[in-house]
Chains A and B, each alone.
Chain A
């Protein structure tokens, strides 16, 4: 009897406030979509860092015979200079940062070069002598590149220090900025959602004040009176969350998996399984929105 009664109360409430209920659904839908997008973007960034930071190295190019760099005034790098630089990298000060150092000789550079460009005409004329010795440094934390660069750059025999990561940096910057934007919009929309849900519950409570006062008169408990209002909000927010999950799923499925992943193959993109991963989070946030709003409103408008 009781469950049936609560359900009919909820049904009545939602029907009477159809427009408001719809707007609550939509506003939670949009805010949670932004929340989800922000989370997915960060997952994407993390994915890419995982994939690439393992592979990126700092390359220390040592002076070839014909360099114009100031540090190369002494001509081609000497054996002694190479050892000296290796010594710096192996020193106490850098041991926490450097994981591994590998010397790429002229011969190895030539092989790698031929592998990459061997089928081009101009590449045939390059000789081993023209190749450059370099030190390939693998860092413990690729983000701390600057520490190593500062120690090594400017020493005699070092022509240039190149951080491969810097090639990726603009991409991460774009992704991070987009995340911030999505998160900002999400925050705004969440505030809107809370205000809207609060107003909706308040209107619903006010339009049923007479009913509520009569129920109280005949001894209905607080929870019993408030439950329909809370569930109304929760149902609307839950619907919004489900729509958001559906929207994100469609977006990832058709834009990322079908289109982006097909076009840009060197990136490991987020997938629909990641959407399922964040689905509980979105539902949780949706329910929390409704719960907070209900608590705030109902304690003021439907007390015994």
Chain B
């Protein structure tokens, strides 16, 4: 299958169907036993191990469990994505608040993760994934731990990010969201693609 630049794709399928594995392949955390994975035009089997970090800098990632650093403030949690790739200080000082503002967390820079609701924590994670303005954003069940209302807020945010030109691939079990958004849907069963539907819905209408 192919995902175009700037597309928004839902990855659906039963537990164990290979959605997370799909995302791990794109991050080159896993290597395919057969077949090839191309990201931004590059064959992942051909890039050397030490270039993998550069690949990951072009990809933002969001997970169901947020994966924040609990002893670091909201600001630091987002800033780390820029710090580890050696961005200058002034760049960090301006970009991080900007991004936090964009995800709707303006003014909460100094909070610690446990002082935030689940939805807010996921916004921090999205800010961290997006602060480097990656071309691609991968999301693995980002609304899995959130109530429907909060989930809708997160989806609006992802939609806005998508409209800035960022390609988004999102694995999910959330049928309401998939049915509402009417984006491209790819369904996996046992690691095989069984459906690829433009403006699709969660359940297949066979």
Q: Which of B10-18, B34-42, B52-60, B177-185 contacts A (4 or more CB under 8 A)?
A: B52-60
Chain B residues positioned under 8 Å from A5 (CB to CB):
83-84
**Which positions 216-254 of chain A face chain B at CB distance < 8 Å?**
216-222, 224-225
Q: How far is the CB of B42 from chain A (nearest CB, A)?
A: 15
For A218, the chain B residues whose CB sits under 8 A away are 56-57, 80-81, 84-85, 128-129, 132
Is B87 interfacial (CB-CB < 8 Å)?
yes
From A4, A210, A213, A215, give the contact of B84 (CB < 8 A). Answer: A215
- Is A304 interfacial (CB 8 A cutoff)? yes
Interface centre among A4, A219, A220 (most CB of B within 10 A): A219
Within 8 A of A (CB), among B58-81: 61, 67, 69, 80-81
What are the residues of chain B within 8 A of A225 when measuring CB–CB?
Answer: 84
Knowing A217-B61, A218-B81, A219-B57, the reply to whether A1 touches B92 (Cβ < 8 A) is: yes
**In the complex, what residues of B have CB within 8 A of residue A224's CB?**
84
User: Which residues of chain A come closer than 8 Å to B49, judged between CB atoms?
Assistant: 304
Residues of A near B53 (CB, < 8 A) are 216, 219-222, 304
Taking a contact as CB atoms under 8 Å apart, the answer to whether A214 and B83 are in contact is no
Which single residue of chain A is at the shortest CB-CB distance from B92? A1
Assembly CA distance A222 to B49 (angstroms): 10
- What is the distance, in angstroms, from B10's C-beta to the closest C-beta of chain A? 22
| A108 within 8 Å of B (CB atoms) | no
Main SS class of interface, A: helix
**Complex Cα spacing A215 to B22, Å:** 21
Given A1-B83, A5-B83, residue A217 in contact with residue B67 (CB < 8 A): yes
A222-B132 contact given A1-B83, A1-B92, CB 8 Å threshold: no
Contact A304 B83, CB 8 Å, known A1-B89, A210-B69, A217-B67: no
Q: Is residue A2 within 8 Å, beta carbon to beta carbon, of the partner chain? A: yes
Q: Which of B54, B57, B86, B87 has the most CB of A within 10 A?
A: B86
Q: Is A211 an interface position by the 8 A CB rule?
A: yes
- Bound Cα distance A222, B54 (Å): 11
B88 within 8 A of A: yes
Look across to chain B and name the residue whose beta carbon is closest to the beta carbon of A211.
B69
Nearest CB in chain B to that of A210: its residue? B69
**A222 close to B50 (CB less than 8 A):** yes
- List A contacts of B132 (CB < 8 A): 218-219
B123-143: contact bitstring with A at CB < 8 Å (1 yes, 0 no)? 000001100100000000000
The CA of A260 and the CA of B82, in the complex, are separated in Å by 61
Is B84 a contact partner of A220 (Cβ separation < 8 A)? yes
A214-B80 in contact (CB<8A):
yes
Give every chain A residue within 8 A of B52 (Cβ-Cβ).
304
A262, chain B: closest CB distance, angstroms: 58
- The answer to whether A221 and B69 touch across the interface, beta carbons within 8 angstroms, is no
28 inter-chain pairs at a CB distance below 8 angstroms, sorted by A residue, are: A1-B82, A1-B83, A1-B88, A1-B89, A1-B92, A2-B83, A2-B86, A4-B89, A213-B67, A214-B67, A214-B80, A215-B84, A217-B27, A218-B57, A218-B80, A218-B81, A218-B132, A219-B53, A219-B54, A219-B56, A219-B57, A219-B81, A219-B84, A219-B85, A219-B132, A220-B53, A222-B50, A304-B53
Given contacts A2-B86, A218-B132, A219-B81, 18 further A-B contacts (CB under 8 A): A1-B86, A1-B87, A1-B89, A5-B84, A214-B69, A215-B80, A217-B56, A218-B80, A218-B85, A218-B128, A218-B129, A220-B53, A220-B85, A221-B50, A221-B53, A225-B84, A304-B49, A304-B53
